[in-house]
Amino acid sequence: MRSLLMRQILFCQKRSLCSSINSERPRVRFAPSPTGYLHLGGLRTALYNYLFAKSRGGDFILRIEDTDQTRKVEGAVEALKTDLEWAGIECAEGPGFNGQYGPYVQSERLDFYQEHISTLLENGSAYKCFCTERRLNILRRDAVKSQRVPKYDNRCRNLTHEEINEKMNAGIPHCIRFKLTSDCQYFDDLIFGGIAYDVSINEGDPVLMKSDGFPTYHFANVVDDHLMKITHVLRGVEWQISTTKHLLIYKAFGWQPPQFGHMPLIVNSDGTKLSKRQSDVKVEDYRNNGIYPLALVNYITLSGGGFDHVPGAGVRIKTIDDLAEEFQIDKISSHPSRLNPDLLEECNRLEIKRQLQDNDLSKTLVTNLKNLITKTYPKHNLNLSEDHVKTVLDWSVSRISRIEELVSKKFGFLWILPKAKTEVDQVLLAKLVTNLENLEKFDQNTLKDNLRSFSSNNGVKFPALMKMLRGVLSGLDEGPGVAEMMDLLGKSQSLERIKAVVR
Ligand code: GLU
C-alpha cells in the first residue's frame, strides 16, 4: 500500500541549492509522542534539529505530542528530557523550560485547537462528520475486498444545515474533518528536493478533531508549528507523505508554512531494514552499556551525513560545538543512512582517549573505573591508586572501547590475584625472581629482552616460559603479552605473584 502511495509522489526536481533555505533565525522543534523512550532514530531527529538551530544561532524547542492519550507512557517525558540532556541537546523552550509559546504539551493546548477548528468550520474548510465507526469499518472492508485503497467517502461533506442541527440536537457524536481539495501541493524538501503530491487521490477527508475533543496529529502539528513560530520542520521521512496534507491546512488558514526537510530512513550496513531489536535500542541502554554521549552523537552523524567528508581523514570525535559549526543541511543525503556498529565502538574508544587527555574528564573516568572495580570485585586486593588506574586506562585505549571491559574476566587479573592453574617449575621461577629483582628498568621492552635471554640461558623454551608466567600472573591462557602485563602490574606486584607460587 505504502509503495503505491509513494509512487504517486512526483519528485519534480533535484534538491535546490542551500541558498533556498529560509535565512531567518531558525526556530525548530523536536516533537516526540511520549509513547516510549528515546531511540536512535528519535535522537537523530533531535540532534539534527539541534545542530541546524545551533549552526544558525536559532532555538531548539521540545514539544510533547500526546494527543493519543491511549498510547501515553508514564514517565516518558522525564525520560526523554534526561536523554536529550545526556546527549548534550539543550532545549531553549519546552515543558519545564522557559518559553513564551507554551504550554509545550499538546494535551494542555486543547483551547487553542478548539479556537482554530472554529476558524476552519466557519470558513468552510472543515465540517462535522457523524459517521459511525461501524460505517467506516464497512467502507474499509469493501475497499479491501475490491482491491481499492480504503478511504473515507466524504459523505458528511454534503450534509445540510438542518441535517447537522438535527444530529447535534440528537447528541450524535461527531468528529471534524478537513475538506481535501485536489489541489496538488508542491514543496521544496530541504533534503529530497522538489515534491508534489495530490493527497486526495489516496485519502478521504482526514479527521482534524476526534469526537473526544482531542485534535489529531495532523491538525495539532500544523496549529502548533504556526503558533510556536517554527521556521523549519526537520523530521523523519515517514512523515513526508503527510506534508502536502499539512500544506493544505496551512492554506486553509491563510498561513505561511515553515520549510520542510525529511530525514532518510536508518538502515543496517547492508541496506536492510533495522530489525525490531536494533531499532528498539533505547538511548538509555547505550548509556547504561558504557557508551558516552559524544560517541553516540558522532556515530549518528557519521551514518547520517550533513558534513563535508574528508577522504582518508578517519574517525574523529567532534564536540557538539564543532558539529554545529561544520553542519550543512544540504550535505544530508536522501539515501537511507547506513549504520555501521563497528563505528560506534571506534567512536567510544576515541571518546575515552579524548577524555583521558583532559584533566578533569580523566579524573572522572578514573573514579568511574574505580567504582566499577569495587563493584565487580568487592574483594579486590590490588593497588587502586589514581596513578595506577590511570596507567591502566592509558594502556587500554588501543584495546577496549568501553571501560566495562576492564573489569571483565579477561582483565580481572589487573584488580585481583589470580588463581594460578598452571604447573610451575619452582626452581626455574625462583631463579627468575632473582633475575627480575636485579632489573633496574621494568618496562615492556626491557622485560621482553630480559625474558628472552633468561629462557635461552636456562635452557627453557621461550613459549613454555611465557605460558607458565602468563598462568602465574593472570590465571589466564590468553591475554596481553607477558612483558606488557608485568609492565602494567608493576615490579612489586609481578614479583609478588611469582613468589607466591615459588614458596
Ligand atoms: N509526533 C510525531 C512523532 O512522534 C512528530 C512528527 C513531526 O515531527 O511532525 O514523530
77: three-class secondary structure by DSSP = helix
Q: Quote the number of domains for the chain.
A: 3
* Cell numbers that stand for 124 in this block: 468552510
The predicted pLDDT at position 274 comes to 72
Ligand 1 pocket, mutate which of 27, 47, 217 (most atoms under 8 A from CB): 217
Q: Beta strand pairing status for 126-129 and 175-178?
A: antiparallel
Distance 320 CA to ligand 1 centre (A): 24
The predicted pLDDT at position 385 comes to 87
Are 326 and 387 found together in one domain? no
Distance 453 CA to ligand 1 centre (A): 69
- How many angstroms separate the CA atoms of 364 and 120, rounded? 57
The predicted pLDDT at position 6 comes to 45
**For the segment 130-178, what is each residue's pLDDT rounded down to a tens digit?**
999 999 999 999 999 999 989 999 999 999 999 999 999 999 999 999 9
The residue with cell 522538489 is: 194
* Total number of residues shown for the chain: 503
Are 460 and 404 found together in one domain? no
**Backbone phi and psi for residue 278, each to the nearest 5 degrees, phi listed first:** -70, -45
> Final residue of a domain: which of 350, 367, 387?
350
pTM: 0.90
Task: Classify residue 74 by its DSSP letter.
Answer: T
Instruction: Please count the CA atoms within 13 angstroms of the CA of 471 that sit on its side-chain side.
Output: 13
**Alpha helices, DSSP H, located in 146-239:** 161-169, 217-227
Task: Classify residue 88 by its DSSP letter.
Answer: T
Are 330 and 296 found together in one domain? yes
The predicted pLDDT at position 5 comes to 44
105: three-class secondary structure by DSSP = strand
Domain assignment present for 458: yes
Distance 32 CA to ligand 1 centre (A): 5
Are 288 and 346 found together in one domain? yes
Q: Residue 431 is part of a domain; what is its CATH number?
A: 1.10.10.350
Displacement of CA 71 from its chain's centroid (Å): 21
- How many angstroms separate the CA atoms of 415 and 376, rounded? 10
- 239 within ligand 1 shell (Cβ under 6 A): yes
CA angle 148, 154, 157 (to 5 degrees): 170
> Final residue of a domain: which of 372, 388, 414?
414
Ligand 1: which atom is nearest the Cα of residue 221? 9
Are 337 and 369 found together in one domain? no
- How many angstroms separate the CA atoms of 330 and 440, rounded? 60
- Which carries the bigger pLDDT value, residue 57 or residue 275? 57
The residue with cell 563535508 is: 308
CA angle 291, 293, 297 (to 5 degrees): 105
* Cell numbers that stand for 223 in this block: 496549529
Distance 29 CA to ligand 1 centre (A): 10
Q: Mean pLDDT across the stretch 193-215?
A: 95
Are 293 and 329 found together in one domain? yes
> Final residue of a domain: which of 350, 366, 388?
350
| Number of other CB atoms surrounding residue 260 within 10 Å | 23
Domain assignment present for 101: no
The residue with cell 591462557 is: 477
Q: Mean pLDDT across the stretch 452-473?
A: 93
- 221 within ligand 1 shell (Cβ under 6 A): yes
Are 444 and 486 found together in one domain? yes
Whether 8 has a pLDDT exceeding 80, the answer reads no
Q: Could you confirm whether 276 is annotated as catalytic?
A: yes
Task: State the pLDDT confidence band at 281, using cuts at 50, 70 and 90.
Answer: confident
**Alpha helices, DSSP H, located in 329-442:** 341-356, 359-376, 386-396, 426-437
| Through-space distance between the first and last CA atoms of the chain, rounded to whole angstroms | 77
- 32 within ligand 1 shell (Cβ under 6 A): yes
- 42 within ligand 1 shell (Cβ under 6 A): no
From 7, 399, 451, select the one nearest 201 (Cα to Cα).
7
- How many angstroms separate the CA atoms of 407 and 424, rounded? 27
Are 405 and 430 found together in one domain? no
Are 369 and 410 found together in one domain? yes
Q: Please pick, among 54, 273, 276, 448, the residue that the annotation labels catalytic.
A: 276
135 with 141: CB under 8 angstroms? no
Domain assignment present for 398: yes
Q: Whose CA is nearest to atom 3 of ligand 1?
A: 32
* Cell numbers that stand for 464 in this block: 613454555
Ligand 1 pocket, mutate which of 69, 72, 109, 235 (most atoms under 8 A from CB): 235
| Number of other CB atoms surrounding residue 2 within 10 Å | 8
- How many angstroms separate the CA atoms of 7 and 180, rounded? 20
- 65 within ligand 1 shell (Cβ under 6 A): yes
The predicted pLDDT at position 291 comes to 96
Whether 260 has a pLDDT exceeding 60, the answer reads yes
Domain assignment present for 286: yes
Residues with Cβ within 8 Å of 149's Cβ and at least 6 positions away in sequence, in order, are 1, 4, 5, 143, 202
Domain assignment present for 143: no
Ligand 1 pocket, mutate which of 39, 65, 69, 187 (most atoms under 8 A from CB): 65
- How many angstroms separate the CA atoms of 394 and 404, rounded? 15
Q: Mean pLDDT across the stretch 193-218?
A: 95
Ligand 1: which atom is nearest the Cα of residue 217? 1
The predicted pLDDT at position 4 comes to 39
104 with 252: CB under 8 angstroms? no
Q: Residue 325 is part of a domain; what is its CATH number?
A: 1.10.1160.10
Domain assignment present for 495: yes
Residues with Cβ within 8 Å of 327's Cβ and at least 6 positions away in sequence, in order, are 48, 51, 52, 54, 55, 306, 307
Whether 13 has a pLDDT exceeding 60, the answer reads no
**For the segment 286-329, what is each residue's pLDDT rounded down to a tens digit?**
999 999 999 999 999 998 889 987 777 788 999 999 999 999 99
- 62 within ligand 1 shell (Cβ under 6 A): no
| Number of other CB atoms surrounding residue 471 within 10 Å | 19
Are 434 and 473 found together in one domain? yes
- 235 within ligand 1 shell (Cβ under 6 A): yes
Q: Which domain holds residue 334?
A: 279-350
**Backbone phi and psi for residue 419, each to the nearest 5 degrees, phi listed first:** -95, 105
Distance 333 CA to ligand 1 centre (A): 21
Distance 121 CA to ligand 1 centre (A): 25
Are 330 and 293 found together in one domain? yes
Domain assignment present for 40: no
Ligand 1: which atom is nearest the Cα of residue 42? 10
Distance 164 CA to ligand 1 centre (A): 33
The predicted pLDDT at position 227 comes to 98
The predicted pLDDT at position 422 comes to 65
Task: Classify residue 334 by its DSSP letter.
Answer: S
- How many angstroms separate the CA atoms of 137 and 116, rounded? 29
- 31 within ligand 1 shell (Cβ under 6 A): yes
| Number of other CB atoms surrounding residue 324 within 10 Å | 17
Are 310 and 340 found together in one domain? yes
